[in-house]
Amino acid sequence: MKEQLLSLKKVNKFYDEAHILKDISLDIKDGEFITLLGPSGCGKTTLLRCIAGLESIESGDILLNGESIKDLAPNKRNVNTVFQNYALFPHLTVFDNIAYGPRIKKVTKEDEIKVKVDEMLELVKMEGYGDRMPHQLSGGQRQRIAIARALINNPDILLLDEPLGALDLKLRKYMQTELALLQKQTKTTFIYVTHDQEEALNMSDRIVIMNEGRILQVGSPRDVYNNSNSLFVADFIGDRNIKEVEVVERKEDFCSVKLGKSIIDIRTDRSMVKPNECDGKVYLAIHMDKMKISYDKVDNSLYGEITFVHYAGSQIRTEVDVDGEKVTVIEYQNDYDNYRIGDKVYISWEENGAILLPKEDIEKRGN
């Protein structure tokens, strides 16, 4: 096993009274693509800035290659940042922007720098743009230059702060693929900050989900998507129906819970709640897109009346009233897209789409 590249040990950060980062501990291996995901204000950007050295930490430690870097100035840390608004130097050409790092360090000769800059321009597919000024470039192009400017320094870690935030949807999707490829190509460790779950799921090796200054869950995209460990994560990742339900029966690997008048069985091997912990009320979370509507009776299903149908091209969102509880089902185009309001239907789901969550959140259980 390779040593951890970056270790965060109980990192705490305050702004005046506000406790921004609470006991953040995280290990990152060399070559990983890690995404810090969370809503605005959850501390993800602050954590990134602490790693970059642009913010100091009040307690805890940050180890890079086993050595503490928490007291090093940003210019002494071998990490580089791609800023949200690119932060290109407006008075320098694209070439000079990229060459800034090596020139400042004065260890590389100018002709070697030229070779390296050209390599970088090729890497980000911007050959021939060296003479342009930043204001002559589009948002996507500036982003590439910002990445090239950071990567030319061969950083141990590349920190990316919502780098695609300012781009339009199409370009953003394209750049996601490009970034993931670039990461594989350069084998550089990426720590990527975003509030966009799709970006996170799409690109990352591991996702770190944060809220209110804490890490709630760390796992592969599949892991956090399917096996969310808390109400917050379940609500934040993917579209789920989340309902408070009553446990009526506990079995070895499933619980029977009551939603409205229906009693349904939920497998608990993926859930945070184990059958022996099922106590009174728990939360049931089911991915909307893992549910299915049928007119014929199905085992282990909910029964209700369609109250609304949203047609959105490739997918159909159907709202079903199940004994007063609104359940939303997302289905992709199929032969049965002619649901009518008022139809009585059965809703079933894939077993891995449903989990049970404890009533109080994980952070409050002191876990």
Partner 1 sequence: MNTKGSKFRTFYLSLFFVILYVPVLSVVLYSFNKSSSTAQWTGFTFDWYLQLFNDRVIFESFKISMVVAIITSTVSAIIGTASAVISSYVSKKVESAINGVMFLPLIIPEVALGLSLLIFFTELNLTFGVPTLVIGHSLFCVPYIYFMVQLRLQEIDSSIIEAAKDLGASSWQIVKTIILPLVIPSTLTGSLLAFAMSLDDVIISTYMAGPTGTTLPVHIFSMMRTGVTPKVNALSTLFLLGTFLLIGLNQTIGRKGEKFYEEN
| Closest distance of CB 118 from partner 1, Å | 18
Q: Are 144 and 119 in contact (CB under 8 A)?
A: no
| Closest distance of CB 78 from partner 1, Å | 9
Q: Are 178 and 215 in contact (CB under 8 A)?
A: no
Cβ-based nearer residue to partner 1, 108 or 186: 108
Cβ-based nearer residue to partner 1, 72 or 263: 72
List helix spans (H) across the chain. Answer: 44-52, 94-105, 110-123, 139-151, 169-186, 197-203, 221-226, 231-236
| Closest distance of CB 211 from partner 1, Å | 25
Cβ-based nearer residue to partner 1, 98 or 231: 98
Q: What angle do CA 148, 27, 39 make, to 5 degrees?
A: 70
Cβ-based nearer residue to partner 1, 54 or 309: 54
| Closest distance of CB 96 from partner 1, Å | 10
Q: Are 203 and 192 in contact (CB under 8 A)?
A: yes
Q: Are 113 and 101 in contact (CB under 8 A)?
A: no
Cβ-based nearer residue to partner 1, 159 or 293: 159
Cβ-based nearer residue to partner 1, 52 or 175: 52
Long-range contacts of 127-136 (CB under 8 A, 24+ apart): 129/94, 130/93, 130/94, 130/95, 131/93, 131/94, 131/95, 132/93, 132/94, 133/90, 133/92, 133/93, 133/94, 134/86, 134/88, 134/89, 134/90, 134/92, 134/94, 134/97, 135/90
| Closest distance of CB 160 from partner 1, Å | 12
Sheet containing strand 206-211, strands side by side: 79-82, 157-161, 189-194, 33-37, 206-211, 214-219
- The contact set with partner 1 (CB under 8 A) reads 52-54, 73-75, 80-81, 83-85, 87-91, 100-101, 104-105, 133-135, 149-150, 153
| Closest distance of CB 67 from partner 1, Å | 18
| Closest distance of CB 173 from partner 1, Å | 24
Cβ-based nearer residue to partner 1, 75 or 314: 75
